[in-house]
């Protein structure tokens, strides 16, 4: 199972809306005869790859797989049928697939065909691996990661607005790798106006994450680099387009930007839109106002703070977040430690949300 | 020498204004026959302790010591004379003592008496160990450490001023240990008014560090816990005492608070006063205004940031520092990584100032 989990992780950032899945086939004598993983949505499932590699040697053998084999015809045929057809005797699973089209149906089908099914092996690890997929299936929203870079005194900009570069080159490279693991990268109009960012993984992700601009005013620079750079781009706005903005939207649509009208120009509505578009994990790289709204609407499950060993100061200078409405320090409950890394001169601290829902 | 350095470190926080010193005596056959360290100002020097332990076995032997033996009569007799009298043949030193009363005089005296002197063994380590002492001798000011506790979004208080407790209990214990290594702990009147702190090491330091309040207005609460709690306390103010504050000063002096009139109510003037009072290392635990002034006046050589995994938010909320007058992000040069620790839920990041003097 450890090997199957390693294989599954190889697909990270490329399988959405599907989960990460890894599979290993052992022959009747317990020898490893096949390995597979789900490498991209629409591509073969992990079980199919592993069974194909094993061929006849799968007969009477064991399939070890990180997620329940599917039982529905999607872009590929149901895996449970393929497992049965290959003559597998025993299936060892990390966890059932909570997706409503599966949800135990694959396991039932295997058992009905007389196969032994062992569930729950390394389930915690498998759940951690597929946290974004599981979060989307459970909540209808992608998992949200909020990233910011700040100085050691908690500043994201100088009083004059200057913000490039607070973190070092190595940490900026780490952010590109983080983007490569996300299905979308979100900013607001303010960040677009002030930073003119590209928001790509710089080629680290095979198809770049969807760049998303959430804008209420649609007061957006027509010459932003985002619009012309070749990567998928979505402009999301609320109901009611100001009359003088129709021309801009037409112009951007003509340049390949997807325009999405949300029922409300709010983070929560955007999350539901992005879940419909197949996003499991999205990265918020926005300014304090939008970040605060996203937090307050429960759209952030993980934090990644890049902390540079510099002092910027300045009472009117930028800080990562706006008002959270707290009255007591004790209301700011601790986030859970994930990973702490020194990247170049900078610290990167990754954390997960407190167990109970926030705000 | 490694052992001598370990011994020296045992005196940390208790020897000021003196340096940390450790010494080891080997007999003529190279066997360890004596160990000593400087445990408190006014107490025996390291060499004297080690020689006393060695007794006659020191004759013809080697003294390994982290700092040049002194040559002046202070509260204790000169060590170089004691070394010669003990019949030591060879002295191995980490570094010369830069103090103007020594400055090579001890080495010269040993050589004049026919002893072999080897200098510069593990000098970098010895310099690091005595950085506060060396800084004071070189600059006439104690080494300044600025400590603050902030949330992950860089806040030291909520918009309503609430600030207790941002860091966890374990990190607050770490701060008590940090205080125990410092000769003074400094706050401004604002911190005294808002937090009513004790500023002690909670008994971890044999004699508590000097608690220092720097106040321009002398608008101080007469009932602050600081005034009544038994630990040495200094109130520093600038020239010109407001007429209505004379009574308060008299009252505090009667309660054992030392009153110091500085030529200017500024961090730099306070540092010179504290150097005169024998402080090698002082801890700034003040609010943003005083911290910023201390930084801008070159009174801070080390930072200790306690970062709690909490989000506090609030645009008008407190931040660790005020305006540093920077115009470009690149002017905020990186501080040097020292130690990074997870203490309870919190991070503690300790750093040293960039090599060149700051702004």
Task: Give the pLDDT confidence score for residue A316 in this predicted structure.
Answer: 66
Sort out which chain A residues have CB atoms less than 8 A from B153's CB and list them: 150, 154, 319-321
Task: Give the pLDDT confidence score for residue B56 in this predicted structure.
Answer: 94
Nearest residue of A to residue B338, measured between CA atoms: A309
Residue that terminates a domain, selected from A96, A129, A162? A129
Mean pLDDT of B236-249: 92
- pLDDT per residue as tens digits for the range A124-139: 999 999 999 999 999 9
Residue A45 parent element (H or E):
none
Nearest residue of A to residue B351, measured between CA atoms: A309
Domain assignment present for A216: yes
Sort out which chain A residues have CB atoms less than 8 A from B309's CB and list them: 334-337, 349, 351
Domain assignment present for A134: no
Burial of A89 (0-12, 13-18, 19+ CB in 10 A): middle
- Cβ atoms of B54 and B84 within 8 Å: the answer is no
- Smallest CA–CA separation between A268 and chain B, in Å? 20
How many whole angstroms separate alpha carbon A214 and alpha carbon A196? 14
Domain assignment present for B135: no
Question: What CATH number does residue B87 fall under?
Answer: 3.40.140.10
Task: Give the pLDDT confidence score for residue A352 in this predicted structure.
Answer: 79
Cβ within 8 Å, pair A327-B154? no
Residue that terminates a domain, selected from A88, A105, A129? A129
Asked whether residue A168 falls in the same domain as residue A271, the answer is: yes
- Of the candidates B35, B47, B208, B350, the residue annotated as catalytic is B47
Domain assignment present for B359: no
pLDDT band at B329 (very low <50, low <70, confident <90, very high): confident
- Smallest CA–CA separation between B313 and chain A, in Å? 5
| Number of domains making up chain A | 2
Which of B151, B153, B161, B301 should one mutate to test binding to chain A, selecting the residue with the greatest count of A CBs within 10 A?
A: B153
Domain assignment present for B134: no
Domain assignment present for B249: yes
- Smallest CA–CA separation between A304 and chain B, in Å? 10
- pLDDT per residue as tens digits for the range A279-289: 999 999 998 88
Asked whether residue B91 falls in the same domain as residue B225, the answer is: no
Asked whether residue B181 falls in the same domain as residue B240, the answer is: yes
**Nearest one of B66, B95, B98, B69 to B81, comparing CA atoms:** B69
Task: Give the pLDDT confidence score for residue A359 in this predicted structure.
Answer: 40
How many whole angstroms separate alpha carbon A197 and alpha carbon B301? 36
Sort out which chain A residues have CB atoms less than 8 A from B318's CB and list them: none
Task: Give the pLDDT confidence score for residue B193 in this predicted structure.
Answer: 93
Asked whether residue A281 falls in the same domain as residue A145, the answer is: yes
Task: Give the pLDDT confidence score for residue B318 in this predicted structure.
Answer: 67
Asked whether residue B169 falls in the same domain as residue B109, the answer is: no
Residue that terminates a domain, selected from B87, B108, B129? B129
- pLDDT per residue as tens digits for the range A149-158: 998 889 888 8
Instruction: Show the CA angle centred on residue A253, arms to residues A250 and A255, nearest 5°.
Output: 115
Sign of CA dihedral B315, B319, B322, B328: negative
The whole-chain average pLDDT of chain A stands at: 90
pLDDT band at B317 (very low <50, low <70, confident <90, very high): low
Mean pLDDT of A23-51: 94
- Smallest CA–CA separation between B95 and chain A, in Å? 31
Query: Helix, strand, coil proportions of chain B in percent (round to 5)?
Result: 30, 20, 50
More confident residue, A326 or B190: B190
Which of B144, B150, B152 should one mutate to test binding to chain A, selecting the residue with the greatest count of A CBs within 10 A?
A: B152
CA trace torsion A332, A335, A287, B358 (10° rounding): 90
Which of A309, A312, A348 should one mutate to test binding to chain B, selecting the residue with the greatest count of B CBs within 10 A?
A: A309
ipTM: 0.85
Task: Give the pLDDT confidence score for residue B357 in this predicted structure.
Answer: 46
pLDDT band at B356 (very low <50, low <70, confident <90, very high): low
Asked whether residue A291 falls in the same domain as residue A333, the answer is: yes
Asked whether residue A251 falls in the same domain as residue A348, the answer is: yes
Q: Which residues of chain A from 187 to 246 reach within 8 Å of chain B, CB to CB?
A: none
Task: Give the pLDDT confidence score for residue A339 in this predicted structure.
Answer: 82
Q: What are the strands, taking DSSP E only, across B17-78? A: 22-26, 32-37, 62-65
Shortest CB distance from A309 goes to which of B324, B342, B351?
A: B351
pLDDT band at B332 (very low <50, low <70, confident <90, very high): confident
- pLDDT per residue as tens digits for the range A229-242: 789 999 999 998 88
Shortest CB distance from B309 goes to which of A150, A159, A351?
A: A351
- pLDDT per residue as tens digits for the range B337-354: 888 888 777 788 888 777
Task: Give the pLDDT confidence score for residue A22 in this predicted structure.
Answer: 96
- Smallest CA–CA separation between A323 and chain B, in Å? 3
- pLDDT per residue as tens digits for the range B20-41: 999 999 999 999 999 999 999 8
Asked whether residue B123 falls in the same domain as residue B37, the answer is: yes
Q: Which residues of chain A from 138 to 197 reach within 8 Å of chain B, CB to CB?
A: 150-155, 158-160, 162-166, 168
Cβ within 8 Å, pair B168-A334? yes
Residue A228 parent element (H or E):
helix A225-228
pLDDT band at A314 (very low <50, low <70, confident <90, very high): confident
Asked whether residue A146 falls in the same domain as residue A222, the answer is: yes
Q: Which domain holds residue B233?
A: 141-352
Question: What CATH number does residue A204 fall under?
Answer: 3.40.430.10
The whole-chain average pLDDT of chain B stands at: 90
Asked whether residue B27 falls in the same domain as residue B145, the answer is: no
Domain assignment present for A60: yes
Asked whether residue A121 falls in the same domain as residue A148, the answer is: no
- Whether residue A358 is predicted with pLDDT greater than 60 in this model: the reply is no
- pLDDT per residue as tens digits for the range B113-152: 999 999 999 999 999 999 999 999 999 999 999 999 998 8
Cβ within 8 Å, pair A326-B313? yes
Q: Is B296 on the interface with A (CB under 8 A)?
A: no
Residues 6+ apart with CB under 8 A from B276: none
Verify whether residue B356 is a known catalytic residue.
Answer: no
Asked whether residue B171 falls in the same domain as residue B119, the answer is: no
Domain assignment present for A136: no
> What does each C-alpha distance from B321 to A130, A321, B14, B103 come to in angstroms?
41, 17, 30, 39
- pLDDT per residue as tens digits for the range B187-203: 999 999 988 999 998 88
């Amino acid at each position: 199972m450890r090997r199957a989990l390693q294989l599954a992780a190889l697909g990270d950032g490329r399988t959405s809306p599907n989960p990460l899945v890894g599979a290993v086939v052992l022959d009747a004598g317990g020898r490893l005869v096949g390995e597979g993983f789900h490498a991209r949505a629409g591509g073969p499932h992990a079980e199919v790859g592993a069974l194909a590699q094993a061929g006849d040697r799968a007969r009477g053998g064991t399939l070890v797989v990180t997620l329940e084999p599917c039982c529905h015809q999607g872009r590929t045929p149901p895996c449970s049928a393929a497992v049965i057809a290959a003559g597998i005797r025993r299936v060892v699973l990390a966890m059932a697939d909570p997706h409503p089209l599966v949800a135990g149906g694959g396991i039932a089908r295997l058992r009905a065909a007389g196969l032994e099914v062992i569930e729950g092996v390394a389930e915690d690890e498998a759940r951690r691996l597929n946290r974004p997929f599981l979060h989307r299936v459970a909540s209808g929203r992608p998992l949200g990661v909020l990233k910011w870079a700040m100085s050691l005194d908690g500043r994201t900009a100088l009083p004059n607005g200057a913000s490039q570069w607070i973190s070092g080159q190595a940490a900026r490279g780490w952010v590109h790798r983080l983007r490569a693991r996300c299905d979308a990268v979100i900013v607001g109009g303010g960040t677009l106006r002030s930073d003119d960012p590209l928001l790509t993984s710089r080629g680290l992700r095979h198809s770049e994450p969807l760049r998303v601009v959430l804008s209420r005013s649609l007061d957006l620079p027509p010459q932003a680099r985002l619009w012309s750079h070749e990567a998928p781009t979505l402009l999301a706005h609320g109901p009611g387009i100001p009359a003088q903005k129709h021309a801009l939207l037409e112009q951007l649509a003509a340049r390949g930007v997807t325009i999405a009208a949300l029922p409300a120009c709010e983070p929560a509505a955007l999350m539901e839109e992005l879940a419909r578009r197949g996003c499991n994990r999205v990265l918020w790289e926005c300014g304090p106002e939008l970040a605060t709204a996203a937090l307050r609407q429960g759209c952030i499950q993980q934090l990644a703070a890049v902390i540079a060993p510099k002092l910027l100061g300045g009472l009117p200078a930028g800080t990562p977040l706006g008002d959270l409405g707290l009255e007591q320090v004790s209301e700011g409950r601790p986030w859970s430690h994930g990973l702490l890394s020194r990247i170049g001169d900078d610290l990167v601290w990754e954390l997960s949300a407190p167990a109970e829902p926030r705000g």
